[in-house]
Amino acid sequence: MEFKIAVLGGDGIGPEVTAEAVRVLEAIGRKRGHTFQFSEAPVGGNAIDRYGMALPQETVRLAKQSDAVLFGAVGGPKWDDPRAKVRPEDGILGIRKALGLFANLRPVKVSPQLMEASPLKPSLLQGVDIVVVRELTGGLYFAKPKKRWETARGRRAVDTLRYTEQEVRRVMRVGFTLAQGRKNRVTSVDKANVLESSRLWREVAMETAKEFPGVVMDNMLVDTAAMQLVRSPARFDVIVTENMFGDILTDEAAVLVGSMGMLPSASLAGIPQAGQRAMGLYEPIHGTAPDIAGKGIANPLGAILSAALLLRYSLSLEAEARTIELAVDKVLADGYRSPDIARPGERTLQTREMADLVIGLL
Ligand code: IPM
Ligand code: MG
């Protein structure tokens, strides 16, 4: 089969790790008889430098014409001025919104090989296998008013935390659907003891639970969830939460696997039916890591595992996705490490070398 993939590498280590994910896709394509047509487009800080905007129209158009988007990362100190009119982050936020990708899946699975890389005790990490479903196109990130202004009594700013019941329901359904193929448990995370939007969230979560009688749901306050994630992470199966809480909790969850460099994500407009294709955007959850950009030492596994999710969710190629995931597991089991997951004194491999090992196992 033939597929069109938009490649938006972005800034910092984004293009480096994305290039390795592309090579892995090409390799699996050769093995299984699929052709990928890759088209690159600018996004983020480099797009600001060249076009004065973080998300050129052309980039959105290319993405919309593609079967899926492979994304790197955006941002960097060069564009960090808080008073700047345009920001690299507008690139990723804008494309999530433009493509209607309201559900962000962030799987967090601790492999036995990497327990050493985590600051948590191995006893706590045993059996950790979580998917965080983060609402991605609503809440504080997008709702209006969102602005900053001057008054006689000083500067003011506002962001708005607004949700409609439809926005909550559709992302809850994604979480419940995923749970059905897993351990049948959903934890809906909110701040219902304080926030009105969270009280709506919780109400809709409980309504949605009735549609999925086989799935057990509990509600948890976000502060408790932050604590439980490091105290007993193995208790979770699927976590569903609003945009901002999800942003924060997924960085915390990344600590469980030892490095941000390992974690992939998929942004979708719902879970496709078996055998169906659906547009999605796939990105490692790590950032642009300006300190190591250009050195060829970034961990490409988060990007490579994102490519696996792309095969699974957008192209309905489950077997190919599994092959890549198993190859990554094997590389780690064989003791190969990029600097971010190595123990002191351990030999480390370059970005390209790590990807070559994965490719060699496909
Ligand atoms: C993430 C990132 C982004 C977000 C930034 C880069 C805008 O932190 O994907 O988690 O906050 O969503
Ligand atoms: Mg984040």
Nearest CA to ligand 1 atom 5: 89
Nearest CA to ligand 1 atom 8: 247
Where a domain ends, among 230, 257, 284?
A: 257
**Residues 54/85, Cβ–Cβ less than 8 Å:** no
Residue among 92, 105, 251 to mutate when testing ligand 1 (max atoms within 8 A of CB): 92
- Co-location of 46 and 145 in the same domain: no
Residue 362: CATH number of its domain = 3.40.718.10
**What residues are annotated to the active site?**
141, 191, 223, 247, 251
What number does the ligand 1 atom closest to the CA of 287 have? 6
- Co-location of 196 and 237 in the same domain: yes
The pLDDT assigned to 112 comes to 87
**Residues 205/219, Cβ–Cβ less than 8 Å:** yes
What number does the ligand 1 atom closest to the CA of 104 have? 9
Query: Per-residue pLDDT tens for 111-138?
Result: 888 898 899 999 999 999 999 999 999 9
The pLDDT assigned to 1 comes to 87
User: Ligand nearest 287 Cα, by number?
Assistant: 1
Say how many Å lie between the CA of residue 247 and the centre of ligand 2: 4
User: Ligand nearest 74 Cα, by number?
Assistant: 1
- Co-location of 123 and 241 in the same domain: yes
- The H-assigned helical ranges of the chain are 14-32, 45-51, 57-64, 89-98, 122-125, 165-180, 196-211, 222-231, 243-254, 301-309, 318-333, 351-360
What number does the ligand 1 atom closest to the CA of 251 have? 10
Task: Give residue ranges with CB within 6 A of ligand 1.
Answer: 75, 89, 92-93, 247, 285
- Co-location of 227 and 280 in the same domain: no
* Residue 341 CA, distance from chain mean position: 19
- Co-location of 38 and 141 in the same domain: no
The pLDDT assigned to 358 comes to 98
- Co-location of 139 and 242 in the same domain: yes
What number does the ligand 1 atom closest to the CA of 243 have? 12
Where a domain ends, among 216, 233, 257?
A: 257
Say how many Å lie between the CA of residue 98 and the centre of ligand 2: 19
The pLDDT assigned to 106 comes to 97
What number does the ligand 1 atom closest to the CA of 250 have? 10
- Co-location of 182 and 277 in the same domain: no
Say how many Å lie between the CA of residue 34 and the centre of ligand 2: 33
Distance CA(295)–CA(169), nearest Å, equals 44
Say how many Å lie between the CA of residue 354 and the centre of ligand 2: 25
Percent of the chain with pLDDT over 90: 94
- Co-location of 126 and 141 in the same domain: yes
- Co-location of 197 and 322 in the same domain: no
Specify the number of domains making up the chain.
Answer: 2
| Residue 348 domain boundaries | 1-114+258-362
CA terminus-to-terminus distance, the chain: 18
Say how many Å lie between the CA of residue 14 and the centre of ligand 2: 15
Nearest CA to ligand 1 atom 4: 247
pTM tops 0.85, yes or no: yes
Where a domain ends, among 257, 286, 313?
A: 257
The pLDDT assigned to 64 comes to 98
User: What residues contact residue 190 under an 8 Å CB cut-off, 6+ apart?
Assistant: 198, 199, 201, 202, 205, 219, 220, 221, 222, 241, 242, 245
The pLDDT assigned to 183 comes to 98
Nearest CA to ligand 1 atom 12: 247
In degrees, rounded to 5, the angle at the alpha carbon of residue 309 between the alpha carbons of residues 207 and 291 is: 110
* Residue 270 CA, distance from chain mean position: 15
- Co-location of 272 and 250 in the same domain: no
Q: What residues flank ion ligand 2 with Cβ within 5 A?
A: 247
The pLDDT assigned to 274 comes to 86
**Cα torsion for 189, 193, 195, 196, to the nearest 10°?**
100
Structure tokens at 68: 């899926």
The pLDDT assigned to 247 comes to 96
Residue stretches of the chain with pLDDT short of 50: none
